[in-house]
Amino acid sequence: MNDKIKRNNKSIINILKNIDFEKYGPLLALLILFIISSFASPYFLKMRNLTNILRQVSYTGIIALGMTFVIISAGIDLSVGSMTALVGGIVVLTLNYFGGGYFAIFIAIIVGMFFGIIFGAFNGLIITKWNVAPFIVTLGTMSIFRSLTLYISGASEFRSTSSLFPQLGMGYILGLPIPVWILLGLTVLYSVILNHTKYGRYVCAVGSNEKVAKYSAIKVKMIRFFTYVIVGFNVAITSVLLSSRLNSISSSGAGTGYELDAIAAVIIGGTAMSGGSGSVVGTLIGAIILGIVNNMLNMLGVSPYLQGTVKGLVIIGAVLIQRKKD
């Protein structure tokens, strides 16, 4: 009997050894967390709760998908939260200016996308043209974007007068909220770009070793510049969806903490902070893990003042796991 138990234990150990934890670690963590959560609360597995989790993570998750490219290229963007508020405010102002109808919504979305790309390009231009550290540049633009948002709104809310706009943020398709479908669609698109295009390979090469990438005739500055354009574009999508859901944007509260959640999702998903490698699907899984953690903390009645502590510990744990990779 003891020999049989020992053989079973050895088999389990061999199976665990053969698992590629670097690749499948985030997925295993999600499955374990899902199982634990289902036992911890009888309400967790209810469809409404699961749908709410996916809706909540879609806003920061969309930004995190763009952040994946930035971090793989050995950069970082701290301005995404403030940029979300500013672009969202511009979207609402544009919507109100054109009357709030379907045409106004279309124009507002186009304008929002334009400014998101411009703001992302602004970050990328300073970082690449003048070789300023991404941390410093985006820390500065984080302050600039929030300050402009507060100034334009008079430190109040941007309120939409449209009765049609909320249909975008609150709508459902086949039982799932529209923001969730957009998150999933972008995950597929960016996975293809990262894994099956020259640009994706070049992003990894730049983040892995910039000098080698230069010697390989890769336009390092251009590649890195477009990673910030991508994240700016994704911020614009989140801004449209968030302002649509609330039919307003708070100049002081909108996007607060989004930069932390986006970076955390990327790290938890297995992307190395030192750059060079990462996974878009892993980022999606990381965002869902954060969403489940927040959801369970709320269900278990944990003080909201302590939830940041738990999130911080999760991030530190993910970084410590990556030490072998780095």
CATH of the domain at 315: 1.10.3470
Q: Is residue 3 one of the residues assigned to a domain?
A: no
The per-residue pLDDT for range 206-254, each reduced to its tens digit, is 999 999 999 999 999 999 999 999 999 999 999 999 999 999 999 999 9
Q: Which two tokens stand for residue 40?
A: 């911890």
Q: Are 220 and 214 in contact (CB under 8 A)?
A: yes
Dig out the tokens for 190 from the structure: 């960016």
Q: What is the pLDDT of residues 157-196, one digit of tens each?
A: 999 999 999 999 899 999 899 999 999 999 999 999 999 9
Find the distance separating the first CA and the last CA of the chain, reported in whole Å.
43
- Give the single-character DSSP code of 300: T
User: What domain range is 286 assigned to?
Assistant: 24-324
Q: What's the number of domains the chain is made of?
A: 1
Specify the range with the lowest mean pLDDT, choosing from 70-79, 225-234, 292-301: 292-301
Q: Is residue 10 part of a domain?
A: no
Residue 11 belongs to a domain: no
Instruction: Name the 3-class secondary structure at 249.
Output: strand
**pLDDT tens digits along 94-147:** 999 999 899 999 999 999 999 999 999 999 999 999 999 999 999 999 999 999
Q: How far apart are CA 316 and CA 293, in angstroms?
A: 15
Assess if residue 54 is contained within a domain: yes
- Per-residue pLDDT for 205 more than 60? yes
Q: Can you give the pTM of this predicted structure?
A: 0.92
